[in-house]
Amino acid sequence: MRNRFTFSLLNTDYVQLNESWNYFNVISPFYRLYLIDDGIGFLSNPDQHITLEKGNLYLIPSFTMFNQTCPSHLSQYYVHFIEESSDGSSLFAGSRKLLQIEASSSDIDLLKRLVAINPGRDLRKSDNPKVYEKSNILKGFQEANLHIGLSTILETQGLIQVLLSRFLNCKEFACHPQKLIPSRIMEAINYIQTHLGGNISVEELATRANLSTDHFSRSFFQHTGQRPLQYIQQKRIDRAQFLILTTDYTFAEIAAQTGFESLSYFARIFKCTTGQTPGNYRNSRSYNI
């Protein structure tokens, strides 16, 4: 399978936590990876309850809601990173669950190296997700990659990919194998990703692909598992989720930026897709301590 996924570092560090590390209904637009080397903590959601304990690696894919708590003491290496794929897809789209595997000695070495070559990428000002997930803060984290050398960028991406690859044998991931997408469909996907705020029709996409509308729709479904309009709506909701999580935009502003013709239509599609109204989705991220 051709690798079309890249990952951009936001934060990494080694930290010792205490009982103040208690945040609920956390849902982030980026991935989190933890390696525990001492103490006990917990990750949970309505479907899972996982103990954070020494000698294990944990992965929380983007847009996966969870609670994180520490009853007393917890020491961990952590990495936060953004997923960037050529077609707007997500490597863990079919397995947005809390994942756990046993860590190896090489995993520890990789994380130590990641921290060592990326100094100053910590969250020591605040470990509250509600603080560091705002769009201006995330932008600052991402822009830090512009001020390091190419060798460090390449090594950092390689280290993240090696660590992430350790989770690809999880049964949750194995049930959703990735497919190679033809260039015509890839071009349509890229067009969708860059024009979410405008009017996108299946006829236009088919014309751009030099295919009939029916042929294009069948091919698109074959390679993505979704009809074109369904895919467009999903990507618009994905973008809306990101804006709700990272900005204070009104829902009307978010609806306009994501190509919905009205606020009421946006709210209806958002609830059908996520199971929550936009208001409940924003309010559920209270991060009560």
pTM over 0.75: no
Tokens found for residue 270: 């958002």
264-281 per-position pLDDT tens digit: 999 999 999 988 899 988
- Domain 5-174 fold: Jelly Rolls (2.60.120)
Tens digit of pLDDT for each residue in 180-227? Answer: 678 888 888 878 888 889 999 999 999 999 999 999 999 999 888 889
Residue 193 pLDDT = 81
Q: How confident is the model at residue 288 (pLDDT cuts 50, 70, 90)?
A: very low
Same fold, 5-174 and 183-283: no
Residue 135 has pLDDT above 70, yes or no: no
pLDDT confidence of residue 25: 82
pLDDT for 189: 85
The reported pLDDT for the residue numbered 94 is 66
Model confidence at 243: pLDDT above 70: yes
pLDDT in tens, 152-178: 999 999 999 999 999 988 766 554 555
Domain boundaries of the chain, sorted by first residue: 5-174, 183-283
CATH number, domain 183-283: 1.10.10.60
